[in-house]
């Protein structure tokens, strides 16, 4: 529809004046810093898709193919990959193995990250039993609970320890990621303990907003929120349907309407 008249004006070719800081700077680090959070999340997805392809013997892939398998726009994929370097071959595509290894490097997957799960209830059991983590460089090395009936019992091959031992054990086993699966009221206190044990990354399943120091990274998985977002879309869709069928005169009942 629109025509953007590009002016071939100022040659932007080797426009290399903008590097700012240090002169001889290979720039991997600059890159790592500059990667948008959203892109990091997608890189993890690309990595999984690529691993699957590698397992099936695929050796090369184009941005178009990969983007489709990952469910994103091809241009976005290329831009995401460009954040980590230029590892493609024009006219051909990307070498799967090469891409895998570079994404792994950027995501810090060249070393293992030891995981501790706190709160071995319904969810904690599922997590501890889950086989998907160790295989991907995230071995679960410690489990904690307050319940004395659980302490000592192995879950998924790891014995449960009492929460009071959290500091000593986290330090000893070099836990780098703490997973909180306790009831909400206990979450903040567990979080504090993890932090004082030196854990700087936390994955929180409890529906609670955790307060942490700046140097600690928290990610939350909040199922209730996910459900409510879905609910919002249901409602919106119902509204639209209503406005179409009723004829867009305004409000339905209480703003709520029924399914198409």
Partner DNA sequence: CCGACTTTGTGCATGCGTTCACAAGCGGTA
Partner DNA sequence: TACCGCTTGTGAACGCATGCACAAAGTCGG
> Where does this chain touch DNA (CB under 7 A) — which range of 75-83, 109-117, 135-143, 251-259?
75-83
Burial class of residue 54 (count of CB atoms within 10 Å of its CB; 0-12, 13-18, 19+): middle
- The beta strands (E) that lie in 73-184 are given as 88-89, 93-95, 114-118, 140-145, 154-155, 158-162, 175-180
* Among DNA, ligand NAD, a copy of itself, none, residue 146 binds (CB under 5-8 Å by kind): ligand NAD
238 vs 213, 228, 231, 250, 254, CA distance in Å? 42, 15, 11, 13, 12
d(CA 230, CA 225): 9
Report the residue from 27, 38, 58, 153 that binds DNA according to the rule CB under 7 A. Answer: 38
* Among a copy of itself, DNA, ligand NAD, none, residue 173 binds (CB under 5-8 Å by kind): none
Q: For residue 97, state whether it binds a copy of itself (rule: CB under 8 A).
A: no
Site string for DNA, 129-158 (x = CB under 7 A): ------------------------------
Q: Parallel, antiparallel, or unpaired: how do β-strands 154-155 and 201-204 relate?
A: unpaired
Site for ligand NAD in 180-199 (CB under 6 A): 181-184, 186, 189-190
Q: Quick one: tokens of 204?
A: 């929180």
Q: For residue 171, state whether it binds a copy of itself (rule: CB under 8 A).
A: no
Helix (H, G, I), strand (E, B) or coil at 150: coil
Q: For residue 92, state whether it binds a copy of itself (rule: CB under 8 A).
A: no
Binding residues for ligand NAD, rule CB under 6 A, total 27
- Do 158 and 169 form a contact (C-beta atoms < 8 A)? no
d(CA 24, CA 188): 45
Residue 80 CB partners (closer than 8 Å, separation 6+): 39, 42, 43, 46
Closest contact distance (angstroms) between CB of 186 and ligand NAD is: 3
d(CA 203, CA 127): 12
Residue with tokens 């690529």: 50
* Among ligand NAD, a copy of itself, DNA, none, residue 144 binds (CB under 5-8 Å by kind): ligand NAD
Site for ligand NAD in 197-226 (CB under 6 A): 205-207, 223
Q: For residue 40, state whether it binds a copy of itself (rule: CB under 8 A).
A: yes
Site for ligand NAD in 9-68 (CB under 6 A): none
Binding residues for a copy of itself, rule CB under 8 A, total 98
Which residues are near DNA by CB under 7 A? 1-2, 4, 6-13, 15, 36-39, 62-64, 72-76, 78-79, 81-82, 86-94
Which residues are near ligand NAD by CB under 6 A? 118-124, 126-127, 130, 132, 144-147, 163, 181-184, 186, 189-190, 205-207, 223
């Amino acid at each position: 529809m629109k025509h953007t008249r590009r002016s071939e004006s100022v040659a932007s070719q080797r426009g290399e004046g903008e590097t700012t800081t240090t002169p001889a700077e290979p720039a991997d680090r600059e890159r790592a810093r500059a990667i948008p959070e959203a892109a990091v999340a997608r890189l993890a997805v690309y990595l999984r898709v690529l691993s699957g392809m590698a397992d099936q013997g695929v050796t090369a892939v184009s941005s178009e193919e990969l983007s489709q398998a990952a469910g994103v726009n091809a241009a976005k994929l290329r831009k995401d990959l460009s954040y980590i370097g230029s590892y493609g071959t024009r006219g051909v595509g990307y070498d799967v193995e090469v891409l895998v290894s570079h994404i792994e490097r950027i995501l810090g997957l060249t070393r293992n990250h030891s995981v501790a799960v706190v709160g071995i209830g319904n969810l904690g059991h599922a997590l501890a039993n889950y086989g998907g983590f160790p295989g991907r460089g995230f071995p679960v090395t410690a489990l904690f609970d307050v319940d004395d009936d659980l302490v000592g019992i192995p879950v998924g091959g790891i014995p449960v320890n009492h929460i009071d031992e959290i500091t000593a054990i986290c330090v000893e086993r070099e836990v780098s990621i703490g997973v909180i699966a306790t009831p909400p009221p206990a979450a903040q206190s567990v979080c504090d303990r993890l932090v004082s044990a030196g854990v700087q990354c936390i994955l929180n399943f409890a529906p609670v907003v955790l307060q942490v120091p700046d140097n600690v990274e928290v990610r939350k998985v909040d199922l209730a929120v996910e459900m409510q977002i879905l609910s919002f879309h249901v409602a919106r869709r119902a509204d639209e349907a209503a406005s179409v069928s009723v004829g867009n005169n305004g409000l339905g009942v209480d703003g709520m309407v029924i399914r198409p």
